Structure formats: C-alpha cells, structure tokens
Chains A and B, each alone.
Chain A
Amino acid sequence: MSNGNDNSVVVEKLVKRFGDFTAVDGISLETRKGEIFGFLGPNGAGKSTTIRMLCGLLKPTAGRAMVAGFDVAREPERVRQNIGYMSQKFSLYNDLRVIENLRLFAGLYSVPLAVTDARIEWALEMASLADRRTAITAELAGGWKQRLALGCAVLHRPPVLFLDEPTSGVDPISRRAFWDLIHHMAEEGVTVFVTTHYMEEAEYCNRLALIYRGRMVALGTPNELKQRHMKGELLFIEAEPLGPALEAVESAPDVLDAAVFGNALHVVVEDAAAMQARLRAYLEARNVRVSAVEPIRPSLEDVFVSLTTGFNGNGKGKAT
C-alpha cells in the first residue's frame, strides 16, 4: 500500500455489510493532496457508509483504509485528529449560539488556547458569519448552517476534509458559495472528499468515483468519464406526449438506450447524425409530435445512466 503522502486517503477493497446487506462492496481508491474527490451516486449507493468508515465511525467488515497515514480501523483516534467531518444531516447544537458551537469544537479538536480566538475569527470570516456570531444556531437559514458546520470542521486545520452531501437542502446561490469555499480549501492543500447526488456539483470535482449499489462503477475526471464511458452518441428529443414517445423510441431499431431527462428524452445511438432524421420520421409515424431532435454532448448524468443501466442488466434505465 502506498501511503507516502500523509494527506491522502488510500482505500483498498473496503467492504461493509449490515447483516445480509452489503452496503459497500470492495471499493478501492486513492486521493491526492489538495484534490477535490467526488463520490457520486444515488441515495443508498453506499456513499455515506464509505465516508463514515473513513472517519472511523463505522468499522469496516473487510478491506483496509488509511486516512492521513493512519489505519481507520486500528487508529481511529489518530484519524479523527487529522480530519474534519460534516455529516449528511446538520448535527451541530441548535440551542447553542454560533460562537458557542465554534468554541465547543475548538475545544473538542484541542485547538491550542493561544490560537483559539484567531481560528474562530478566521472561521467566522471564511463562513461569512462574522455578524451572526451571537445568533442561536437554530435560527440560521440552511446555507448559513452548512457554512457554520464547515467552519466547525476545519478549526483545527485538518489535512483531510470529509463532506457528506454538504449542500443538500440548500438554495442554489448558497450552494455555489459553499463550493467556492471548498475550492479555497483545496487550493490551500486540503484534500476534500465530498459526496453528492447533484450531477452539476460533480462537475466541480477534480476526480469522481461513480458509486452504484456499493460498487465503484467508474473513476476519473469529469471529462474522462464522459469520453470513456459513453457507448455511443447522444440525441436530445423533445416530443409530446412523452410517455408514448419513450416507448416508441425504445422500440425503434438501432437505439441503444433511452431515458427521460426532465421533459425531454436522451437517446443513445451509434451514429447521431444518421439517426437524427430517421428517428423523427419514426416517431411522427407513431402519432408523436416532435419539436426537436438534436445531437448533444453527454453530461455526467448521461454517463451515469449509461453505466448503471449496463450494470443493472435490464437495458433501459431512468435517471432521477
């Protein structure tokens, strides 16, 4: 196992079983210092379970994981001193003031008293909470709470940061601001390990692992994933009514895959240019009003659907 780099997360064949259920099924990966490493997958894919094992909160059933140079199963306390963790559900103390939560976590992370005040000021500044310092935490809006949680998790300047769905339930503007913070941390050399099920957020990551049913189905930069894992080319079809349109497309010859995206269809074909006119005619012949058929560049969501439908073995899939 290579762990010469103290800032890295090294995972080897990590397994977690709860009774008969295998939540994490042999995941292996490595992160680099200062990297934003994304864990992308639907709810229940095993993202949180993996992150909890890496934080020493769950004991791995099998496999090994080193975080900041320490084995998570054997030295969980050493691991905890070197990480910051933001759990999926907001879990600071709602009845404490902002400043009281910060002081508490500074104490829990043994931040030296001499620098505690400076660190707290730094965290308040970073999280744009300086003028909310005496607010009761419960009264903060979602975006503020998330930034406070991040502030509490980095008071001890950990080299590795684990963020479990940090922006779920937060408005888009706050989400954007939060990602700016994450980038800022990474620029300072912090390894950020982040889970998400927002595809557009996944684009912000340096590298991504796609997780599905406890397994890692792909690993790479967002661009690599798009290039490597799409089996064909993509057509965007706007048609009405959508249900019959999907059924018709699925029955059409030379269509590899089809899925509903919003109020349109994404259709995977061998040769987009050749199929464009043929599909329009095919659909219109079946009483579907077609307003657009255009080739498009695949998004991560397309990659994900393409990978997981193959994985499923049941052919056609539907993304959420």
Chain B
Amino acid sequence: MSDLVAAAWVGLAAPPATPRPIVDRLTTELKTATTSRHGSQD
C-alpha cells in the first residue's frame, strides 16, 4: 500500500484588503498566544 501523507493546518485569516499594519499586529498577537500556550511550533 502506498503511503498517504496528510498535511493538516488550522490558521487565522482576515478579509482581503485588510491593511498590512493590522494584519501584522494580529500575526504578532496570534504567535504570542499560540507559543505561550503550546510552546514553539517551529
């Protein structure tokens, strides 16, 4: 049987045309929230 590789991913997205500074702020806060709770995913 051939292998099946399933790549699952859950993320957060904003509407298009959301200003870059807002997206960057949300990205920073999301990363802080996820790393502080689950540890680094890098």
Do the two chains bind? no
A residues bordering B, Cβ < 8 Å?
A: none
